[in-house]
Structure 1
Amino acid sequence: MDSYSKISDDTKKSLVSTKRLRYYWSRYKQRIVLGTVLLFGLYVFYGDRLFTSSTSNSSSRRRLSKLNEDDEALINFKEFGEDLYMQNSIADHEFTSLREKMAYHFPYNEHKPLSNHIWQTWKVGKDDPSFPSNYHQFQSSWDAANKDYQHDIIADSHIDTFVAKTFAKVPEVVEAYNLLPKNILKADFFRYLVVFARGGTYSDIDTVCLKPISSWAPFDKQYVEPHYQNIKAKHPEFEIPRVDPDHRITPIGLTISIEADPDRPDWSDWYARRIQFCQWTLQGKAGHPMLRELIIRIVEETKRKQKMGYLKKIEGKDKGGDIMQWTGPGIFTDVVFDYLNNIVSDGKLGDGFGVGSKYWKDGEKYKLKKVETNPETGEPLNSDKQVISWKTLSNLRKPLILDDIMVLPITSFSPGVGQMGAGDSRHPLAFVQHMFSGSWKPANERI
């Protein structure tokens, strides 16, 4: 067939097709129009939901914003929202939960190296004439030991701006931060926010760096590799992750240390928790889900206090106790245990028993003036229901890895305290020394 014959034949076919289309249109016009309108209506009202649900392939990866707060608490916190980057349309959806926003805008990548940032705060910048001379000595220890790290001392006047800009797409966080009535509360909250958003190492201004960060336990193969070798012994296909201190590569996503381990019957008279974690120094990779859960708890506790008119009212036994529960070591310790128990049980243990949990809110535990203990044993109430409890960590003498969290013994961030088994500042596991100058206190109350 020549080209002219082919074109002519195609033209005839086209005319026949056109006639058929006209015939079907004239006969079924009303049905076609009605069907089109109906499909358009379904798209307008349900299109977004239909689209987002089609991206799901399991119960843990469905459109999470359809879940209420209680349902979210039964999801594995570490796996929560790990695929939200595939669902861009939900990021700013009006029904998106706070947990989804946090997971979406600050995703966690456990394979990335630790940030080389060192974060500290003070009322003014270090070049300001009013910056305390003794703090220059403290902060210079961090520079001397970590020459390839970026050391930032953020003035109070810049923290508000940092929080507002960094969490602009999570307005609940910014609102809660602005509602906090005391500087110490904001200082506590900021350390969690900055490590969560940027990653790196936070330490109070009155601390001394005793050893380079690259030599700390998360980068030391003798403390890291045995844990993963035990996993490989049970699962031969498992690949032992790499540890490279020069490039800040470690499988550890969060590093914390024990502050107190009071082995005495009256421990609750002196400490907020039976095992208490310090938060004057902490280290983590950006987006770590434990920090996300901690931030959510503080936001929700602040909202509760605002709703009840308690933002400036003492709910605990005293001012210090209230700070402990709101932003300090009390809530910090609770969330660590609640988070770990959640992930080891794959969400079956829910959100635990600590400050801000469903148990805490439903039972109105914020009205308590003292930490809950078992009257028969003196142990923390509900600790027998935890897989990982204070007993797991009591008398800890070397680093312990739980999932991707490394818990350091009391010596690491509290050397020289002279009690609870703490070694001195020359101990191989002593990394940071807290000088306890009370930098958060009013000037007339500091040592």
Structure 2
Amino acid sequence: MSAWKTFFVSLFVCFSVLNIYQANFTTRKYPKSVSSADLPQEVYVHRTTPPPVKNPYSLTTIEARLGYYFPYLKDDPVEKNIFQLWKTSDLDDPTLFKPEWEDLIDRWKKANGDHDLMLYSIQEAENNVVDFLRPTVPEVVDALRLLPHDRLKFEFLKFLIIYLNGGVYADVDTINIKPIRFWFNSPMSPTKFWLGVDTDYNAADWSDHYLRRLTFSTDIFRSKAHHPMLGKLIARITYIIFTQKDLIKSIDWDNAYEVTDASGNPTIQFTGEFILTDTTFEYINTLPDSVLFTSASNDDLSLTGLSKKIYGPDVKDQKFSYKKFTLLSNPVQINDLAILPKVSFNGYESEERDKFDDDGTRSGWEGFYYARSKKLTGWSLKELKAISN
């Protein structure tokens, strides 16, 4: 078996496809489910028990250690930071930084004057997370430094920077349409994590083009510092790096990143959209006492003129799957984690629609258009044209 096939099988074993049913409701409280995640917050906040001994070959141990040293203070406000990351932070470096990207960065600054914006090089971001993690959870630092390709580090660092500091992550080639202060925040329960749908190909032949029926974007996302979903994600990536390190080193990653599905997602990956998507589904499906907040319009696709037929794999036995988030017209929130419709971080295909909403007055579908990638870097996912409803 080739190294690539072995790696793909290994990842498949590490995180299986997550399935669920679809229900018709606006708010529902689910009964407590058995889960190894999410120890009571008071255990972490007040540190009434010592952390587990370091073991990078135990997924649950890594996750528990992150939760212990970086407690999630869910009642505190989301940090007003914007982080951007690229190969260099030198705007005057013409070989690595395109002039038009500076305009996009300035737009994020001007539209969000109440936020601090930080542009890091990969090395600067690594130094930042090492300062936090080396004294506490050094196995995550060791995992980061085992990565053999800068793009792997780039993708992992997105999650690490936001987990440790909180705020918005946005690639340098993204354009901000609506200021962050106008982004969705649930009136029922304060939102602490924002993810946008990236690919959502609703057609019978979806599996001929995509490796996931639906994915969430890593171009732009927002989170409260120390959110347990990011803790789970970081633990999983760290675990994979340690348990698959020889295989990871054996892969020619320059070539691997060229082999993609129709979304532009590499077919072999463990730091990008696929693992974010899989871990998100695992997280929300193992939440104790989960509560879902949605809108009636999400169940009435006739409002957008879309077909009501949902295509995709047959899923059973879990609360949340792609069926709950496909063809969204409004955000959906599970506890404090919001899933935004595709328009939120993908926008429209025509640049003529990129008109700023600085006063936050747009409503309906257009009111949820917050930002999008302009696909200007060599590492941006460039989706192949595929038509679905």
* TM-based fold match above 0.5: yes
Tell me the SS of whatever aligns to 2:219.
strand
Which residue is 2:120 aligned to? Answer: 154
State which structure, 1 or 2, has the greater radius of gyration over its C-alpha atoms: 1
**Contact (CA 8 Å) 1:121, 1:156: kept in 2 or not?**
yes
**Contact (CA 8 Å) 2:194, 2:340: kept in 1 or not?**
yes
**Contact (CA 8 Å) 2:206, 2:312: kept in 1 or not?**
no
TM-aligned CA distance change 1:319 to 1:177, over 3 Å: farther
Question: Which residue, 176, 179, 182 being the options, matches 1:212?
Answer: 179
Question: Which residue, 246, 250, 253 being the options, matches 1:312?
Answer: 250
Tell me the SS of whatever aligns to 1:333.
helix
**Contact (CA 8 Å) 2:54, 2:139: kept in 1 or not?**
no
Distance 1:180 1:103 in 2: 23
Which residue is 2:46 aligned to? Answer: 86
RMSD of equivalent CA atoms: 2.8
Identical columns (%): 27
Length-normalised TM-score, structure 2: 0.71
> 1:120: how far off?
0.1
Distance 1:88 1:99 in 2: 17
Which residue is 1:342 aligned to? Answer: 286
Which residue is 1:132 aligned to? Answer: 98
Is there any run of 5+ residues in structure 2 with no aligned partner, and where? 1-32, 291-309, 356-365, 381-389
Distance 1:319 1:186 in 2: 19
Residues 130-157 of structure 1, C-alpha deviation per residue, up to 9 Å, x if partnerless?
A: 3321111111110110112100000223
Question: Which residue, 407, 416, 424 being the options, matches 2:339?
Answer: 407
Length-normalised TM-score, structure 1: 0.63
Distance 1:323 1:126 in 2: 32
Which residue is 1:53 aligned to? Answer: none
**Contact (CA 8 Å) 2:203, 2:312: kept in 1 or not?**
no
Tell me the SS of whatever aligns to 1:97.
helix
Is the counterpart of residue 165 in structure 1 residue 98 in structure 2?
Answer: no
Q: 1:185 is aligned with what amino acid?
A: L
> 1:410: how far off?
0.4
Distance 2:172 2:257 in 1: 28
Is there any run of 5+ residues in structure 1 with no aligned partner, and where? 1-72, 219-223, 229-240, 242-250, 347-376, 442-447
Which residue is 1:333 aligned to? Answer: 277
Distance 1:323 1:83 in 2: 39
Residues 287-331 of structure 1, C-alpha deviation per residue, up to 9 Å, x if partnerless?
A: 10111111111111111211x534332798974465664011111
Distance 2:207 2:378 in 1: 25
TM-aligned CA distance change 1:291 to 1:105, over 3 Å: same
Which residue is 1:196 aligned to? Answer: 163
**Contact (CA 8 Å) 1:81, 1:100: kept in 2 or not?**
no
Residues 1-45 of structure 1, C-alpha deviation per residue, up to 9 Å, x if partnerless?
A: xxxxxxxxxxxxxxxxxxxxxxxxxxxxxxxxxxxxxxxxxxxxx
Distance 2:193 2:150 in 1: 25
> 1:429: how far off?
1.1
**Contact (CA 8 Å) 2:88, 2:121: kept in 1 or not?**
yes
TM-aligned CA distance change 1:88 to 1:262, over 3 Å: same
Distance 1:267 1:434 in 2: 23
TM-aligned CA distance change 1:317 to 1:127, over 3 Å: closer
How many residues are paired up?
305
Tell me the SS of whatever aligns to 2:367.
coil
> 1:399: how far off?
0.9
Q: 2:167 is aligned with what amino acid?
A: G
> 1:89: how far off?
6.3
Residues 335-382 of structure 1, C-alpha deviation per residue, up to 9 Å, x if partnerless?
A: 111100001577xxxxxxxxxxxxxxxxxxxxxxxxxxxxxx98336x
Which residue is 1:433 aligned to? Answer: 372
Which residue is 2:317 aligned to? Answer: 385
Which residue is 1:272 aligned to? Answer: 211
Distance 1:280 1:317 in 2: 16
Written as runs of structure 1 = structure 2, the 5 A alignment for 1:247-266 is 251-266=190-205
Question: Which residue, 15, 32, 37 being the options, matches 1:77?
Answer: 37
